Every structure is written in C-alpha cells, then in structure tokens.
Amino acid sequence: MAASADVIPRRPTLLLIVVLSLLFLLMSFSSRTRVVGETRTLFERTVMTILSPVPTAVNWVGTTASDMYHGYLDMRRSVVENALLHRQLARLTAENLKLRQSAADLRRLRSLLSYSDQFSMQTSLAQAIMLDTSGPFKSVIIDRGSGGGVEINDTVVNANGLIGRVVLTTKDMAKVQLMIDNNCSVGALIERTRRQGVVRGNDAGGAQMFDVPALADVQAGDTVLTAGIDGIFPKGIPVGTIVQAQKGQNLFKSITVRPTVDFGNIEEVIVIHTRKIPPEIVRYAP
C-alpha cells in the first residue's frame, strides 16, 4: 500500500517530462530542416499549406453571404418599387381614360350644341339612360320629361340625324320611339330630286322608303331628309342614305335606307320642342 502511494504522485511529473521531450525533439527537427535562405521551418510550411485554403474559404463564404444579403435587399426594394409603379400606372391609366372620355364628351356636346343652333325652335339636351333595339317596340328612354318641357311628339335627334319622337312622358323621363321601329312613319324626301315619300323602320336596324313612284329618279347614295309634312318632324333633318333602289311589284319602287344615326350608340340627344298642330285643325272639314 505504501509503494502504491509513492508511485501515483510521480505520474504527472513523468507525463510533463515526456511532453517537454517531444516538443524539444520537434523544435530540434524543425531547426535542422530549415532550408538555406528559407525563413520558415518545415513545420511552419506544413501548417501554412494545410491552413492556406481556410482564409480563401472564409473570404468566399463572407463574400457570398454579403452578395446574397444585398441581393435579397435589392430584390425586396425592386418588389416594392414594382408594386408602386403598378399602382401609379393604374392611377395614370384611369386618369387618362377619364380625360379621353371627357374630351370625347366635350366634342360630342360641342357638336350637339352647334347642331341645335340650326333650329329656330326651342331645344333641350338630354341623356339616354336606357336603349331597347331588340324588343318589338324600338325605343330609348331619356332623362328629361314634362318637368323639363318635353311633350309628346317632340322630335329627338343627335348630331348625325333623326332618332325618333317622344311617345310618353313623366315628370323626369320620356320614352322615345325610334325611327327604325316599323310602327314609326316619317315624312321624307330625297334631297337631290326633292321626291317625297314615307320612311318606316324594318325592325332590322334599317328602314324602307315607300310611296316613291317606279319611274322616279332614285339612286344609291342619295340622301334622305325629313320633309316636314307629317305634322311631327321638322323639315331638313337627315334621315338616312339610300343603299338600294329597285322596281317594286307595283307602281312604286322598293327602296332600302341606311339610317344616319347609329342606334347602338346613342348617348346625348337633342329634344326639339316642335310646334304641334292642334287636333281641331287636323279634324276640321267644312
């Protein structure tokens, strides 16, 4: 037991002696292996060879991480800027559409106002709020009624020509029968020859001109105007253009008329407050 107690304390001393001996041998070996003119020992060169890729790797990792971080920041900034540009583009597009619409409205109103100045009768501007060209009764509803002076049989036009006549009114609205309705008859004449007839709608977006003699001079391209002889429509309003004139089965020609008004695109209109012929004069017979 006494012998064992003497051995145990000596083990750390022995281990220290062994480590110091190894370090001395390594230093001696490194000193002997120094190359002439070389400031580094073989040990130093070995360590540097082994560890030289480490700075390069660390630098690459650092550069890559920095590039990725800045790339991420640039991407986030680009996404934000792109979203902002999209919002600005949408806003500018909407403003551009409004300006274009306003300019178009202004041109139409100027055209309507200049056209309404041609009539000696009182006129009013109105807006179409409902259009029906597919039903059995072709009509348009406007936003002006008896409260605005609109009466039954007032003529409705736009800058292109005849639209129709008022057939029903309320205080704020009025219903207009379109000239392309087959129950609407318009006293008309051919501008070039002054030959008179009656224009009626054909329920297909066009019209026919009736009561023109078969021997009358009628040509495609002739302009048809209101004749002012039906007691409703004033004289001289454009009605349409003749597209076909053929000899009919009886004593009259078969004439197809293309209206000057695009009935699929009615917006602002002019209501002409025409002079009405009193019924007692119409019915009077001596």
- Please give the Cα distance from 234 to 240 (Å, whole number): 15
> pTM for the full model?
0.62
Closest CA to 155 of 128, 187, 180, 123: 123
H and E: helices and strands count for the chain: 5, 12
- Please give the Cα distance from 229 to 226 (Å, whole number): 8
Domains of the chain: which residue ranges?
2-51, 65-117, 123-278
Closest CA to 271 of 131, 164, 172: 164
Q: Where are the alpha helices (DSSP H) in the chain?
A: 2-7, 11-32, 42-51, 53-116, 279-283
> Do 176 and 270 meet the contact criterion of CB atoms below 8 Å apart?
no
> Do 209 and 197 meet the contact criterion of CB atoms below 8 Å apart?
yes
Tens-digit pLDDT string for the chain (286 aa): 444 444 445 555 676 677 667 666 655 555 554 445 555 565 556 655 665 666 666 667 777 777 777 777 778 888 888 888 877 777 777 666 666 656 666 666 666 666 666 666 788 889 999 999 888 899 999 999 999 999 999 999 998 899 999 999 999 999 999 999 999 999 999 999 999 999 999 878 899 999 999 999 999 999 999 998 998 998 889 999 999 999 877 889 999 999 999 998 898 898 999 888 888 887 888 8
> Do 224 and 209 meet the contact criterion of CB atoms below 8 Å apart?
yes
State whether CATH 2.40.10.340 applies to domain 123-278. yes
